């Protein structure tokens, strides 16, 4: 029986009962599937800012309260007490692993880190100047051919093997892409190093600084998942067609690469370098506020967080520690970022639009202190988000309500008209 307490009344008096689906936390859903039949109109919601696309049990974000939870555990608590391998297990399997489960998972990841020769050959064949995100996308597109035991969406064993292999292999792929761009051969992963430490080792070919490895692991935890963000929704949309999971991840990587999304960390650093000194901050703030200037303050604003992004606060604190530990210069960019943050947050334009620093605002400064080139910042994001992408891809294929994604449009084109022969045009 539909709970008809929610209803829509169309202009010609049609009453459309809307079935309410209660959430465990946050907003409920109103099913609008019957709306078009009763009213001749679909919901119009560019950018899906007010649309629920699926049910999920993985992550919860409260934008008003600055809350981020993975499977019910606060992300900042996990950032302080857990590590990326444990959080990956949590996102994939729904519970914190028992010590024996974590050890087995960690041992399994070790066996899955090495890249297949075809994948390495694809990376080596890419132009050296290619952006690492395009190299990672190409490498992921080879994976279904290289690993045919983990590509069937409807097979639970395939889904499990895919999710573990994807998480294990992404650092190796990203590190090989980095070394290719430096004209260097890839470095194989080591069995004695954990996820983040191995990533730094495979990039630089030497024992990683423990503080840098720990900071990187915490960054991976904080970037691991974030509900139905642009790239995760892209993974779900591509995956809804039944395509293999690695190709779904490649689609997600493409979406993440954009400067409005995961490409923002790279854009923040380039923006800070362009600003150069505190004296020029006002100039850039004015540009960001100018409706006729496409420039936006990179690292500020968020579709969901209309309060602080809890990740930004933690990353700002880590930034301070890493700069000190790595003696990364005098932290000029960090001080400039702090200046910019203080000025922007006191400005009416940003306050009135509730624009706060987001996850990307400080992360680039840490990566730069680790001597990563700006082009490698988004790949760091992709390595982390592979855990979330894989968890969502698996969840959607376990969902009995799964349907191929196919939104509608508001057609504003020409009305029917007859063909005009070329000689009469
Ligand atoms: C991530 O969804 C996720 O969860 C993403 C993410 C994740 O973990 O997956 O959190 C990671 O992508 C973080 C966001 C990184 N991107 C940036 O830092 C790029 C800069 N930010 C903006 O492009 C923007 O804030 C977005 C894309 C993040 C959000 O865009 P929305 O929600 O569509 O906001 P909007 O465009 O509707 O902006 C509302 C107003 C507009 O002004 P008015 O038309 O009302 O006058 O705020 C203004 C915008 O012009 N505005 C900005 C601004 N962001 C929004 N003005 C200047 N600088 C900015 N950064």
| Predicted confidence (pLDDT) per residue in 326-361, tens digit | 877 667 888 999 999 999 989 999 999 999 999 999
Nearest CA to ligand 1 atom 42: 353
Contacts of residue 320, Cβ cutoff 8 Å, sequence gap at least 6: 331, 334
What pairs with residue 17 in β-bridges?
A: 7
- With 80 as the cut, is the pLDDT of residue 48 above it? yes
Q: Is 360 labeled as catalytic in the residue annotation?
A: yes
- Cα 247 to ligand 1 centre (Å): 27
Q: How confident is the model at residue 33 (pLDDT cuts 50, 70, 90)?
A: confident
Give me the mean pLDDT over the 157-177 stretch: 98
Active-site residue, from 131, 164, 360, 397: 360
- Output DSSP code: residue 415: P
pTM attached to this predicted model: 0.95
Q: Nearest 5°: CA angle at 50, between 48 and 54?
A: 70
b/e code 122-160 from CB counts within 10 Å (16+ = b):
bbeebeeebbbbebbbbbbbbbbebbeebbbbeeeebbe
Q: What's the gap in Å between 296 CA and the centre of ligand 1?
A: 8
Q: Which of 267, 268, 292, 302 to mutate to test the pocket of ligand 1 (most atoms within 8 A of CB)?
A: 302
Quote the percentage of the chain above a pLDDT of 70: 99
Q: What is the overall mean pLDDT for the chain?
A: 95
Name the residue at shortest CA distance from atom 15 of ligand 1.
261
Confidence category of residue 201, pLDDT binned at 50, 70, 90: very high
Evaluate if residue 3 carries a pLDDT over 80. no
SS3 15: strand
**Cα–ligand 1 centroid distance for 385 (angstroms):** 19
Split at pLDDT 50, 70, 90, the class of 1 is very low
Residue 28 annotated to the active site = no
299 lines ligand 1 (CB under 6 A): yes
Q: Do the strands 67-70 and 59-62 form a parallel or antiparallel pair, or are they unpaired?
A: antiparallel
- Enumerate long-range contacts of 100-105, CB under 8 Å, 24 or more apart: 105/164
For residue 329, the model assigns a pLDDT of 61
Confidence of residue 38 (pLDDT cuts 50, 70, 90): confident
Q: In residues, how long is the chain?
A: 425
The string of pLDDT tens digits covering residues 210-249 is: 999 999 999 999 999 999 999 999 999 999 999 999 999 9
Residues sharing a CB contact under 8 Å with residue 409, sequence separation 6 or more, in sequence order: none
What is d(CA 38, CA 190) in angstroms, rounded to the nearest whole number? 62
Return the residue whose CA atom lies nearest to atom 51 of ligand 1. 301
Please tell me the residue having the least CA distance from ligand 1 atom 5: 229
The catalytic position among 164, 195, 302, 392 is: 302
- Tell me how far the alpha carbon of residue 364 lies from the centroid of ligand 1, in angstroms: 18
């Amino acid at each position: 029986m539909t709970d008809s307490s929610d209803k829509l009344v169309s202009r010609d008096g049609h009453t459309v009962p809307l079935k309410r689906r209660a959430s465990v936390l946050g907003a409920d859903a109103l099913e609008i599937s019957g709306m078009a039949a009763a009213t001749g109109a679909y919901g119009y919601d560019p950018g899906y800012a007010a649309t629920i696309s699926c049910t999920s049990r993985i992550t919860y974000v409260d934008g008003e309260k600055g809350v981020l939870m993975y499977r019910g555990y606060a992300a900042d608590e996990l950032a302080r007490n857990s590590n990326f391998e444990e959080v990956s297990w949590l996102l994939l399997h729904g519970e914190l692993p028992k010590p024996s489960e974590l050890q087995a998972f960690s041992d399994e990841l070790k066996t899955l880190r090495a890249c297949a020769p075809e994948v390495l050959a694809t990376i080596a064949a890419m132009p050296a100047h290619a952006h690492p995100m395009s190299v990672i996308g190409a490498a992921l597109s080879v994976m279904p051919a290289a690993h045919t035991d983990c590509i069937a969406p409807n097979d639970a064993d395939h889904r499990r093997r895919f999710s573990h292999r994807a998480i294990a292999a992404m650092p190796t792929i990203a590190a090989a892409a980095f070394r290719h761009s430096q004209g260097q051969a890839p470095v194989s992963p080591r069995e004695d190093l954990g996820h983040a430490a191995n990533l730094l080792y495979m990039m630089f070919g030497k024992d990683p600084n423990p503080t840098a490895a720990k900071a990187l692991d915490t960054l991976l935890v904080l970037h691991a998942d974030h509900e139905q963000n642009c790239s995760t929704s892209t993974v779900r949309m591509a995956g809804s067609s039944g395509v293999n999971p690695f190709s779904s991840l490649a689609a997600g990587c493409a979406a993440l690469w954009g400067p409005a999304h995961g490409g923002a960390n790279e854009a923040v650093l380039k923006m800070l370098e362009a600003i150069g000194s505190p004296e020029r901050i006002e100039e850039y703030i004015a540009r960001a506020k100018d409706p006729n200037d496409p420039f936006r303050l990179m690292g500020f604003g968020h579709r969901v967080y209309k309060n602080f992004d809890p990740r930004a606060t933690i990353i700002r604190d880590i930034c301070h520690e890493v700069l000190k530990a790595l003696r990364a210069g005098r932290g000029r960019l960090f001080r400039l970022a702090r200046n910019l943050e203080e000025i922007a947050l006191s400005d009416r334009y940003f306050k009135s639009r509730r624009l706060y620093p987001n996850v990307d605002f400080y992360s680039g400064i840490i990566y730069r202190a680790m001597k990563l080139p700006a082009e490698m910042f988004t790949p760091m994001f992709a390595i982390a988000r592979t855990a979330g992408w894989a968890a969502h891809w698996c969840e959607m294929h376990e969902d009995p309500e799964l349907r191929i994604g196919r939104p509608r449009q508001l057609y504003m084109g020409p009305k029917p008209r007859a063909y005009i022969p070329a000689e009469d045009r």
